[in-house]
Amino acid sequence: MNIFRTRQALQTYLDGPRKATLRIALIPTMGALHEGHLSLLKEAQQIADIVVCSIFVNPTQFNDPGDLEKYPRPEENDLRLLQEIGCDVAFLPSVEEMYGPAEEPWHLDLGNLEQVWEGEKRRGHFQGVTQIVYKLFRLVEPDIACFGQKDFQQVMVIQRLIELKKLPVRLHIVPTVRNEEGLALSSRNMRLSEVGKRKALVLYRALNHIKRHFKDHDLNILRQEALDILHQEKEIDIEYLAICETRSLQEIDRIDPAKNHVALLVAWVEGVRLIDNMLLD
């Protein structure tokens, strides 16, 4: 595995594969890698010739400096996992490498995606996400970008970035990886106790209930049933639960047969904010 920490070194290396017209896949991460990330790598290895995994804790997408400070950075373990799975390139730049002193202001018109759910709760977050992903796209020039379904709103935001900037990148969405009991794997789960992880399984049960009854229940009743399931765990705080159309993430009260739909859920367990979703069609 080749490890690079500067843009120049990475670009020089990628000149070879580009000239050979090899297919390049990019997987942007913030590190603290787990089975969910590794599933992206395995998928990318099936559809590309060269897989580039970036590890960069991006400061512009954090609203809370404390959250940025606490974000795990197990670099040695991350590199070991990438080596074991056979990743071709690991890119680990510094903040100074990615953001210069004369950084131009960044703003992308994300429409409704920036006004609802994660956009509303974390003002400016998706501007920071698109800013760094655009930098990585310009640098790596990938044919394919692999993202996990677990951060579904982020995936829709990246799709919007690709469309607005007219980038020749195909977005490949990889299904959420869950443990045997249904808990979505996440770097945030590392902060949960074993008791907390068991409590968090109620998120999967609620989403699964929505999926099973999506076509045969009134949606308002269905949402309330899912909330009732969540309330069975007394020490879980629900931030939001919504049934939405996938592209705009506009909440719906009736099914549109011409569109696809997703259930979004955010809840707090042991002070940890857990994000999950399930495609319904």
Measured at the CA of 106, the angle between CA 101 and CA 109, to 5 degrees, comes to: 175
Residue 58 CA, chain-centre distance (Å), reads 13
Measured at the CA of 128, the angle between CA 157 and CA 178, to 5 degrees, comes to: 55
Is 177 annotated to bind ligand?
yes
Is 185 annotated to bind ligand?
yes
Neighbours of 232 (CB within 10 A): 11
SS3 38: helix
Please, which residues have CB within 8 angstroms of residue 78's CB and are 6 or more apart in sequence? 31, 32, 33, 55
Is 188 annotated to bind ligand?
yes
Is 111 annotated to bind ligand?
no
Using the 8-state DSSP alphabet, how is residue 168 labeled? -
| Residue 37 is among the residues annotated as catalytic for this protein | yes
Is 31 annotated to bind ligand?
yes
Longest dimension (CA), the chain: 58
Is 35 annotated to bind ligand?
yes
Is 34 annotated to bind ligand?
yes
- Helix 35-47 with 75-85: angle, nearest 10 deg: 40
Is 187 annotated to bind ligand?
yes
Catalytic residue among 37, 125, 209, 261: 37
25/23 Cα distance (integer angstroms): 7
Is 7 annotated to bind ligand?
no
Is 234 annotated to bind ligand?
no
77/42 Cα distance (integer angstroms): 18
Is 97 annotated to bind ligand?
no
221/225 Cα distance (integer angstroms): 6
Is 154 annotated to bind ligand?
yes
CA-nearest of 84, 27, 93 to 58 is 93
Positions at the binding site for ATP: 30-37, 148-151, 177, 185-188
Numbered residues of the known binding site for (R)-pantoate: 61, 154
Q: Where in the sequence numbering do the catalytic residues fall?
A: 37
Q: Which residues are annotated as a binding site?
A: 30-37, 61, 148-151, 154, 177, 185-188
Q: Point out the annotated binding site for beta-alanine.
A: 61
